[in-house]
Every structure is written in C-alpha cells, then in structure tokens.
Amino acid sequence: VGVTRKNRRLLATIQRLTYECGWPPTVRELSEALGNSPTNAAGTHSQLKRLKALGYVSYGSSTNANAKLARTIRVVENFRTT
C-alpha cells in the first residue's frame, strides 16, 4: 500500500512544526497539532510507526520522543497537503 493521505498530513505537520520550532516535534505535539488529544497519541504513534517502517521518519521508543524526518525535506515536500 503506499503512503496514505493521513500519513502525508502527518509528514507535512512534522515538517511545519520542525520549521516553526527549530527542532522536531514530540509525538504529543504532533497529536495535538493534528487535532487529537495530546494525552492519547495512539493513532499518531501508529502512523509514525508505519512511516518509520517505510523509512520516512526516525524517532526513539518513548511516546515523548521527537519525530525526525529521515528523508530530505525536498522529498517530503511532495507530500504536502493543500
């Protein structure tokens, strides 16, 4: 299956928050930015797990770990949502 619309939205959010804050967002920050409860980040974590398996992001094992883009920004720009 490839990268889904939700995955593309998550990648764009990681890119935006990294640009705005100067460092990669945590899973909680991503969850909140996507309109989910920051204390219940299971859906966001599932998407990150999938994107990690596909090689698009890297992050630590903790829920509060920062999600970093594993590919260059130029590649990720192709996944911007409009």
Q: Does 77 score more than 60 pLDDT?
A: no
Instruction: List, for residues 33-69, the tens digit of each pLDDT value.
Output: 998 876 777 888 888 888 888 888 877 655 455 666 5
Residue 74 reports pLDDT greater than 50: no
**What count of Cα atoms within 13 Å lies in the side-chain half-sphere of residue 30?**
32
10-28 pLDDT per residue, tens: 999 988 998 898 888 888 8
d(CA 68, CA 55): 11
CB 7 within 8 A of CB 51: yes
Closest to 68 measured CA to CA, from 56, 78, 80: 56
Handedness of CA 10, 11, 12, 14 (dihedral sign): positive
3-class DSSP assignment, residue 7: helix
